[in-house]
Amino acid sequence: MARLRAAAVAPDDRTVTLLGVVLRLAWPAVLSSLVQTLVFLADRVMLGRYDQNALGSMQVQGPVLWSVFSVFFAGLVGTVALVSQNVGRGDLRAARATARIALAAGAALGLLVGGGVGLLAEPIAVFFGPDDATVVGYATGYLRVASAGTAGLFVASTAAMVLQGYGDTRTPLVVGVFTNGLNILLDALLIFGADTPLGRIPELGVTGAAIGTSTAFVAEAVLLAGVLARRDHPIGLRRPALLPAGEHARLARKMLRLAGPAVLDRLAIHVGFLAFVRVISSLGPRAMAANQALITLESICFLTADGFAVAAAAVMGQHLGAARTAGARRGTLLAVAMAVTVLSILGVSLWAAGPRLLAVFVPEGVPPEPLVETAAPCLVLLALAQPVMAIAVVVAQALRAAGDTRTPFVAALLGSLVVRVGAAHALAVGAGLGLVGIWWASTLDWSVRTVLLLGAFARGRWTRGALDP
């Protein structure tokens, strides 16, 4: 019990203390993100070695699933803000009630989204895919199978948000290591097939990758929900909330109020991103496969930034809940500084090692030069984008934890929907820059978002955004 209670952030405005808190929260979140990245990388490498069309198909189903899931999951973004601020003010009953509401909503949304994706798998693959029957077929099969694990993904992600809002980033890391290891094992067995004492496992290719991913999502949901169901956990689902009449409804309304701008934020980002994907698809299968390899490498950076964003959100929410604005501001800036430093190093490292890393995405016996030559000119842009991406990701999440979901929406609307899509058409197609134009567009998007988000953070309106107790 004592160890569990110690997970919560102790609000403190001192820089040295805040540095320790941010590091304590960030390193498990960053490692958890890196574990996910390794799985993502292993998944793509295995598919690339299985078949280049299989890897290219991930340029269809990957962005589609990410976009659909992100838009709907934004409805639960208030979980971190409500849990962390209630923990900061010492109201664990309200934090427990928030957890229950969020998990029930997550399960319902997961079933709804999974059912929709499964039913519309083929039209989605045809619309977003290239004029290539093989790639479209791979994408359709993956979407149908992956949709079965959507409820697990939503429940697991919601449970992780509850734990992170409390200040526990280690439990999601431990569970993530196990389930992501399970994912890699299943991918290796099911993509290529294997002989076992019980018989031959058939070679399933892209479908095998989808089965591995869905199984891992369900396992993660069961394990994280099991942690929250423990009687000795302070945010335990089995502990009574004992809230006054109508309090649960009031918490649900708060979550909905925060969800509105957050859903619009995700919608703007992903409508823009899917339009962006269509531009990439128009460049042909080789550019699609090259871009998927580049995105896989960049995911190491993005998910690392997400880990620092988790730390910033917990510090922001709990300090605002305890009415310590100075600590909330300083903690966020420390998280930003660490994210910029780490992502800059990662970006330069990927730029230097990129040509060799890109070659692993090509099947044995197939010359790697065409894919590498297509992707390599974009590596310098990947490196240049990392500092601004780090700032945008961390500051946006900190503002959401403060209860400000509108500013990230405006930044996403202008950056993703206007700048990224417009620049992609103008540079990749209009100016004939191809994939280099795509990566210029992405870098410009992150730069615009960073300027807008930093401006809002500096103005300080978020300091009045702490949710009413």
- Distance (Å, whole) CA 120 – CA 115: 9
> Is the Cβ–Cβ distance between 409 and 263 less than 8 Å?
no
Kindly state the helix (H) or strand (E) to which residue 416 belongs, with its residue range. none
pLDDT band of 332, cuts 50, 70, 90: very high
Contacts with 375 (C-beta within 8 Å, 6 or more apart), sequence order: 290, 291, 293, 294, 354, 358, 435
What are 279-299's pLDDT values in tens digits? 888 898 888 888 988 988 898
- Hey, where are the domains in the chain? 2-464
Max avg pLDDT among 37-51, 355-369, 412-426: 412-426
Contacts with 393 (C-beta within 8 Å, 6 or more apart), sequence order: 302, 305, 306, 308, 309, 339
What are 3-59's pLDDT values in tens digits? 444 455 555 556 667 878 888 888 888 787 777 666 666 777 787 778 777 777 776
Contacts with 312 (C-beta within 8 Å, 6 or more apart), sequence order: 22, 331, 332, 335, 336, 394, 395, 397, 398, 401
Full-model pTM:
0.73
Give the model's pLDDT for residue 209.
87
Q: Which residue has the tokens 């795509």?
A: 438
Give the model's pLDDT for residue 2.
36
Residues in the chain: 469
- Distance (Å, whole) CA 319 – CA 400: 14
What DSSP state is assigned to residue 321?
H
The two three-digit tokens of residue 237, written as one number: 């689902």
The two three-digit tokens of residue 232, written as one number: 């000795």
- Tell which wins on pLDDT, 397 or 82: 397
- Tell which wins on pLDDT, 282 or 74: 282
- Distance (Å, whole) CA 403 – CA 456: 13
With vertex at residue 33, the alpha carbon angle to CA 60 and CA 421, rounded to the nearest 5 degrees, is: 40
